[in-house]
Amino acid sequence: MSERVRRVGFIGLGDIGEPMARNLCGAFDEVVVHDLRAEAVARLVASGAKAAASAREVGERAEAIGVCVLDDAGTRAVIAGADGVLAGAARGTVVAIHSTIHPDTARELAELAAARGVDVVDAQMTGGRALTEQKKLRYMVGGSPQALARVRPLLECSAGEITHCGGVGAGAVAKLCNNLVQFQAWQGYVDAFRIARAWGLPDEALLGVLGWILNDNARVFLASRTALERDPGNAPLRERFTAVMRLAEKDLHLAVDVAYRLGVSVPGAALCAQQMARLFAVPDLQRR
């Protein structure tokens, strides 16, 4: 059995990454964090973490590291860039990728890491900031059982459930499938409300009818979308919805690409990917 991990690192202190990193504080001898935004790092330092000037420094100081950045390009840079984790990590280090990325990217980075004696798992999660703070995230993990065992203490700091899905890349596939179902369900909800409102059916009545298939996440989405429809000039809400829309487009296009490479036809997913701006009530951003 591998020795208990004592020094951990976290890179990417965004909306979900920040509370994930905060949950690590106090659970290990040392928590080292890095982000391009000094104010985000400062908040974690106030919670007991220590700051690192680069991803490389995190690699030098931590035995297990979580990475939660925006996309494939950012994940590659943070892990395999000239000043990335692998430039400083010792043999035996394990890196958990939380970013929603293409499974081929996860496997590519795992191969690069293996050449340096470093393990990679793609520990994708779902649940959002609220469930992160409640330590109820659901993790979908791809990687070896040994690597998962070593990084599991980090995941357990934020997890309600951890599912080992298979080898590296399997976590990313599971996450893309999860998101695909969620976004297509939202498309159905939005269309249902358009029909109901055109008829004159009150939102409350339809919510009551659909209650058995609506979860809290969908209710929040629909409430926010309705608020933006009624007040298109609500800049903070519009900015947030636009940011989430772009992430949704990224994830759906990744899912469609994976399906294409596997020879699987997913016309519904492709259509949904094209409908994100309409779905998020920012139709003037619709791609041409």
Contacts of 28-35 with C-beta under 8 Å, sequence gap 24+, read 28/153, 30/6, 30/61, 30/62, 32/7, 32/8, 32/57, 32/58, 32/61, 32/62, 33/9, 33/58, 34/9, 34/10, 34/58, 35/11
**39 and 16 in contact (C-beta within 8 Å)?**
no
Any catalytic annotation for residue 175?
A: yes
CA distance 283 to 42: 37
Identify the three-state secondary structure at position 259: helix
Which candidate in 50, 135, 136, 175 is catalytic? 175
Rounded to whole angstroms, the Cα distance separating 262 from 218 reads: 30
Helix extents (H) in the chain:
17-24, 38-46, 55-61, 72-80, 85-88, 103-114, 128-133, 145-156, 170-199, 203-210, 216-230, 235-262, 267-274, 276-279
Rounded distance between C-alpha atoms, residue 27 and residue 10, angstroms:
13
Residues belonging to the active site = 175
